[in-house]
């Protein structure tokens, strides 16, 4: 599988990321040939969770200070309530989302991750899904929310929870494969 060969995907995360929502999509993207870079505020492993229960850690490749959105073809936003709530308060994370959306580059977000999309101000008129507990926040940000496993709207693919990873992973590979020109070409 090399559908994503030559494509670079940024993954934004902080402490409290949902383990399955980072490990499984990143594995699927790498298996499809993408170069994946995990980005955080510090270059140290982040703590993962299985819903409310602490799990293990996940390695970070770069910090926000070491990269720019222009270096990447696609953006993956894993969920986890703690991760997503903290990440939306990071100016560099909001700038990544805004830059990607302005350039119409593909963005994939699962579970609580659409909170960052709301905080970046890009949801007016968009259709998406998320973990059900944040649907009011997304509607208040101007989005049309639906309770579907995967929702695609232009350059955006969203999903509800780890239970939807069997549908989310193929959808993000398809979305990222639509990236027109690799950022580093």
Q: Is 43 a catalytic residue?
A: no
Whether 1 contacts 33, CB under 8 Å: yes
Distance CA 131, CA 18 (A): 12
Tell me how far CA of residue 9 lies from CA of 29, 82, 89, 183, in angstroms. 8, 22, 22, 10
Select which of 111, 117, 156, 175 is catalytic.
111
R_g (Cα) of the chain, nearest Å: 15
Q: Which residues are catalytic?
A: 111
């Amino acid at each position: 599988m090399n559908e994503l060969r030559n494509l670079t995907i940024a993954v934004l995360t902080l402490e409290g990321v949902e383990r399955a929502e980072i490990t499984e999509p990143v594995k699927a993207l790498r298996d499809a040939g993408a170069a994946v870079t995990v980005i955080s505020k510090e270059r140290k492993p982040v703590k993962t969770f299985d819903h409310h229960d602490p799990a293990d850690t996940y390695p970070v490749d770069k910090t926000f200070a070491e990269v720019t959105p222009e270096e990447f073809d696609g953006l993956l936003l894993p969920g986890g309530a703690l991760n997503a709530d903290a990440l939306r308060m990071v100016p560099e994370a909001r700038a990544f989302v805004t830059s990607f959306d302005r350039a119409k580059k593909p963005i994939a977000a699962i579970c609580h991750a659409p909170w960052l999309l709301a905080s970046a101000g890009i949801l007016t008129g968009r259709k998406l899904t998320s973990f059900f507990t944040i649907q009011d926040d997304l509607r208040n940000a101007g989005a049309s929310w639906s309770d579907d496993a995967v929702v695609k709207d232009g350059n955006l693919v969203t999903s509800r929870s780890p239970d939807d990873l069997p549908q989310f992973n193929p959808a993000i590979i398809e979305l990222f494969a639509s990236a027109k020109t690799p950022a580093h070409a």
